[in-house]
A and B are shown apart, each in its own frame.
Chain A
Amino acid sequence: MIAQLVLNGFVTGLLLALPALALTLTFGILKFPNFAIGAMLTFGAYAAWVANSLLGMPLAVAAVASAVVMALVAMLCDVLVYSRLRDRGSITLLVSSLGISLVLENICRFAFGNATRNFAFEVARPIRWHGLRINQEQLITAIVVIACVILIQLLLHASPLGRAMRAVADNPALAAVRGVERQTIARITWCIAGCLTALSGVLAGLDRAVDPLLGWNYQIPIFAAAILGGLGSPTGAIVGAIVIGLAEELSSLVLPTNYRQIVSFAVILLLLLVRNRGLFGGKAVRK
Chain B
Amino acid sequence: MIAYLTTLIILVAVSALVGLALNVQWGVAGLVNFGVVGFVALGAYTTALLAPPLGWFPAMITAAALCALISTVLAFLSIRLEENYLAIVTIGFGEVVRILLLNESWLTGGAVGIADIPRPFVNLVPPRQYDLMLAAFALVLVAIVFVLLETLVRSPFGRALRAVRDDATVAAALGKPVLLLRVKAFATGGAVMGTAGALHAFYLTYIDPSQFTSIITAYAFMAVIAGGRGSNFGLLFGAGTIMVLLEATRFLKDAFAVIDGTQLAALRLGLIGLGIVLLLILRPQGLLPEPQRKANDFFPDHEGTS
Contact = CB atoms under 8 A, between A and B. Distances in A.
Interface of A: 32-33, 35, 81, 84-85, 88, 90-92, 94-96, 98-103, 105-107, 109-110, 113-114, 212, 219-220, 223, 227, 231, 256, 258-259, 261-262, 264-265, 268-269, 272-273, 276, 284-287
B246 to A, nearest CB: 14
A102 B269 CA distance: 6
Contacts of A269: 77, 89, 92
Contacts of B78: 272
The 3 closest A-B CB pairs, nearest first, are: A102-B273, A99-B276, A106-B270
Interface in B252-294: 260, 262-263, 265-267, 269-270, 272-277, 280-281, 284
- Chief secondary structure at chain A's binding surface: helix
A94 B84 contact: yes
Contact of A99 (B83, B84, B266, B273): B273
A284 B82 contact: yes
Contact of B92 (A101, A220, A256, A273): A220
A271 B243 CA distance: 39
Interface in B55-85: 77-78, 81-85
B102 interface: yes
Contact of A227 (B26, B85, B218, B267): B85
Contacts, number: 135
24 contacts: A35-B34, A91-B83, A94-B84, A95-B221, A95-B280, A96-B276, A98-B34, A98-B221, A99-B221, A101-B273, A102-B272, A102-B273, A113-B260, A231-B84, A256-B103, A258-B102, A258-B103, A261-B95, A262-B99, A265-B95, A268-B88, A269-B89, A272-B77, A273-B77
Given A88-B284, A94-B32, A258-B99, A272 B85 contact: yes
A85 B282 CA distance: 10
A220 B88 contact: yes
A99 to B, nearest CB: 3
Given A95-B32, A103-B273, A259-B99, A81 B83 contact: no
B143 interface: no
Nearest to B269: A106
Contacts of A276: 81-82, 85
Given A98-B221, A264-B92, A287 B277 contact: no
B89 A102 contact: no
Contact of B87 (A35, A107, A109, A114): A35
A284 B88 CA distance: 14
Given A110-B266, A223-B88, A84 B281 contact: yes
A160 B30 CA distance: 38
A265 B32 CA distance: 17
A231 B102 CA distance: 32
B91 interface: yes
Contact of B262 (A94, A113, A231): A113
A264 B273 CA distance: 26
A92 B263 contact: no
B93 interface: yes
A265 B92 contact: yes
A62 B263 CA distance: 26
Given A99-B280, A100-B277, A220-B92, 16 more contacts: A33-B84, A91-B83, A94-B84, A95-B32, A99-B276, A102-B214, A102-B273, A103-B273, A107-B266, A109-B262, A109-B266, A212-B266, A261-B99, A264-B92, A272-B85, A284-B81
Contacts of B49: none
A107 B91 contact: no
Contacts of A284: 81-82
A137 B169 CA distance: 50
A88 B77 CA distance: 25
B35 to A, nearest CB: 11
Nearest to A113: B262
Given A95-B32, A96-B276, A286 B168 contact: yes
A282 to B, nearest CB: 12
Given A219-B91, A269-B77, A272-B85, A91 B30 contact: yes
A286 B86 CA distance: 13
